[in-house]
Amino acid sequence: MPILSKNSARTKSLQAVLDAFSGSYAQLRGVSEFGAYVAAKGDRAGLSWNDIAVIEVNEAFACVVLQFARDAGLEDRFADINPNGGGISLGHPLGATGARVTATLLNELDRREARYGIACMCIGFGQAIAAVIERV
């Protein structure tokens, strides 16, 4: 699956399968993912948790997903958070985590025929990044 701009896709007669339209990063070691998610989801995209079908949280440690679910008030939606496993079970490919998380999210959005998902990962030194992905 190539990742390229909409203009490049058009010139190559390729059909887009996703659109990343909002993103953010946060800086607070261990819980950065939640801050980045909130900024991407609410502040920039104007979505609520009810709009988000799938949430991919790349975790270096299992506690990251647990803390994220608690902070977001999503303890009742664990089936929507890393539904196929996360970085611990699927792998944490050094330098390619973003591609792995985004591809996993897109595959699950396709499977569910859902519209929105969020991809989030820590990127070292207490930072995190999140992006709202729309299946088109």
- In CATH, what number is assigned to the domain containing residue 37? 3.40.47.10
Residue 3 lies in a domain: no
Residue 9 lies in a domain: no
Residue whose tokens read 């939606």: 77
Q: Per residue in 107-118, pLDDT tens?
A: 999 999 999 998
Residue whose tokens read 């330098």: 95
Partners of 95 in the β-ladder: none
- Sorting pLDDT into bands at 50, 70 and 90, what band is 43? low
Residue 44 pLDDT: 64
Q: Tally the domains of the chain.
A: 1
- Phi and psi at 121, nearest 5°, equal -155, 150
Partners of 55 in the β-ladder: 81, 118
Structure tokens, 101: 């998380």
